[in-house]
Amino acid sequence: MTINVNKKAIPLLLIVTLPLILGSCKPRGESRFRDVDQLKPVRITQLERIRDRGALRVVTEYNSISYFIYRGQPMGFQYEMLQELANYLDLALEVSVSNDLQRNFIDLQEGNTDMIAMNLTVTSERKSKVSFTAPLLQTRQVLVQRLPIQWEKMNKEQLESSLIRNQLDLAGKVVFVQAGSVYETRLRSLSNEIGGGIEIREVNIESEQLVQRVALGEIDYTVCDENVGLVNTTYFPQLDVSTAISFPQHVAWAVHQSSDSLRMIINQWITAYQKTRHFAILYDKYFQNRHEYRNIHSEDYTLGSGKISRFDEVIKTEAERIGWDWRLMASIIYQESRFNPEAVSWAGAFGLMQLMPGTAKTYGITMESTPEAQIRAGASFIMWLDDRFRDEITDPDERIKFVLASYNIGLGHIQDARRLAVRYKADPNVWHGSVDEWLLRKSDPAYYTDPVVKYGYARGIETCNFVKQIMGRYEHYKNIMNSDVIASWQPIVEIRSASWQ
């Protein structure tokens, strides 16, 4: 029998049968569609991106509750909660400061920050732009006003009659609020409810500073969250914050609307953390035990004084002389002595800069030397160390870490660690992940007896922590002592004024 084959059909036959032939070559039990499945795009979650980066980027506000510097140390309700969260997630915490609410929301939407950690009131309007975490607190908006002159001599009836207690009485009053805040939105609604007449002035000033402006008589009225207002009545007893202008509202953190994975794990942590004794202590520390607060206008508070320490001016002078950032030098001094010029260590190091007796003698100071002389000597020693590395470590930011490490443990031990790095094919000019690891190994006989090591055993863990802590505190000092933050505590600049009729 003869079979006739249409030659034109051969290409079509091959097209149909070839995939079947190739597919039959796969091992049994293995999906012939496996390769197609592998080509499907894998969605990387925001939490995975953050874990890959190794750091949680957060923007917060600068005030006496959320984030501030006290006696050289970063503190604040938001800051301490964020530290606990970062520890839970096993991530570094990168904090930036901005009191510009509108800018913060833009940065979140553009991916420049992972989270806004402020006293953010949860509103429907904001929910359309961001995702909120589980509530941290509950508060309400209150009117901030001054008590009348000689209010202490008034009886309760006289005092109450001199204050705004009925929201209708706000008609015709000028109320200053932070630009972009929920306070302006609430006042606008309230003005409509009472038939108009509240003159609302938005300004680029953080709400707590507006509270202080009321206390000082520069403005008559503002609005803030009740918990913020109550804390400030401790500093300024002439304030009244008893007139509520809203129902209770939730306060939460905000993440990008696409950050479901991040929001879920934060919510799990918040729910668990709020049940702990640690959270209760933290809340009491900042909101309940208000009479234990120190005067924010003392030099201990960077917030009120505009200073890190009482030695700022001489630190600035000496830092400029050696080409360093004065805030970095301030971080060293805090680490060494807590700004105490009479500090003496068990090893004999003394003064603000904790110079050892031999080094101190080289630079001509004694325990009786003035704080100015101590800082000058310490700066000169830093400059000498910096010169030792300048030719080989040309990146100034990287060189700082080597100088700090040498300041703490001695130049010889750091040079030993660099020689070990070279011997074991690591980079001797990079601190993190290279020289710091070889310094840690100098407590191991297998390494401190190596022929390239000239200065023997060293307990490197303390030095690595020293560098990490100083650099971390330096970031906080840069957050607080920068032109934008300082400008936010300058005289009021009005953005716009609106009378809602």
Residue with tokens 């970031």: 475
- Label each residue of 182-218 as H, E or C: HHHHHHHHHHHHCCCCEEEEEECCCHHHHHHHHHCCC
Active centre residues (catalytic): 336
Q: Is 94 helix (H, G, I), strand (E, B) or coil?
A: strand
What's the Cα-to-Cα distance from 323 to each of 53, 311, 330, 382, 407, rounded to whole Å?
31, 18, 14, 10, 17
Contact yes or no for 75/83 (Cβ under 8 A):
no
DSSP for residue 170:
G
Specify the length of the chain in residues.
Answer: 501
Contact yes or no for 119/225 (Cβ under 8 A):
yes
Residue with tokens 């105490």: 340
Q: From 443, 441, 432, 355, select the one nearest 401 (Cα to Cα).
A: 432
Contact yes or no for 276/218 (Cβ under 8 A):
no
Q: From 229, 247, 248, select the one nearest 239 (Cα to Cα).
A: 229
Cα–Cα dist 46/395, whole Å:
32
